[in-house]
Chain A
């Protein structure tokens, strides 16, 4: 993982990507106990492609494949770890990327999406594994309720949160 992050940091130094932050199960591991995952989700800002209104991951793939890293479906395998790069798909992901927290892995600088944003993003995606992850966050009591409330309100997720509470939290209280 350390070597993977070093490559991603180098991409940032060389201007291939802008700001980045780790999300998904690896991001969640920053806050809660580790849960098995096969890949790394990296949220990343990209440079605009001249003449196009679409953001393209092509420079990222070109950079990595020219250095011998293989692609595997939507992933690029960097130093043994499949990495999926996500340009922010909506305002929530944009905000999550901007407000990510700084940390280090074995002396390597990196950024991780905040716990509250990870919960909001999981709630938005709403797969079974997302609900399990939200429960992990709730059970360990590390969420800032005011911050989470603001995020859920800002991004229209309060109703979903209410439904999640009815289904998974109230019965166990």
Chain B
């Protein structure tokens, strides 16, 4: 594994650890944002068009 990839993985692990350490209330606020984004993406015309071709 290259140094660059090792740094990427370490950074990801650290970010996940920081998220995990948040309080439940803070995590749920993030979940709400994630949900809003997911719904917004699902409503974009590009996504709807992609769905029709399946």
Contacts and interface: CB of A to CB of B under 8 A. Distances in A.
Interface in A27-52: 29-38
A30 B35 contact: no
Nearest to B34: A36
Top 8 closest A-B pairs, CB basis?
A33-B19, A36-B34, A34-B30, A1-B28, A34-B27, A106-B25, A33-B20, A29-B27
B24 A29 contact: yes
A99 interface: no
A105 interface: yes
B20 A140 contact: yes
Contact of B31 (A26, A31, A103, A106): A26
Interface of B: 16-17, 19-20, 24-25, 27-32, 34-35, 37-39
In which size bucket is the chain A interface? 20 to 34
Contacts, number: 51
Given A36-B38, A140-B20, A29 B31 contact: yes
Interface of A: 1-2, 25-26, 29-38, 81, 103-106, 112, 140
Contacts of B34: 34-37
Contact of A37 (B19, B29, B35, B37): B35
B19 A1 contact: no
B43 to A, nearest CB: 13
A89 to B, nearest CB: 25
Given A34-B28, A35-B34, A105-B24, 8 more contacts: A1-B28, A33-B19, A33-B20, A36-B34, A38-B35, A38-B39, A104-B25, A105-B28
Contacts of A25: 31
Given A36-B35, A38-B38, A26 B28 contact: yes
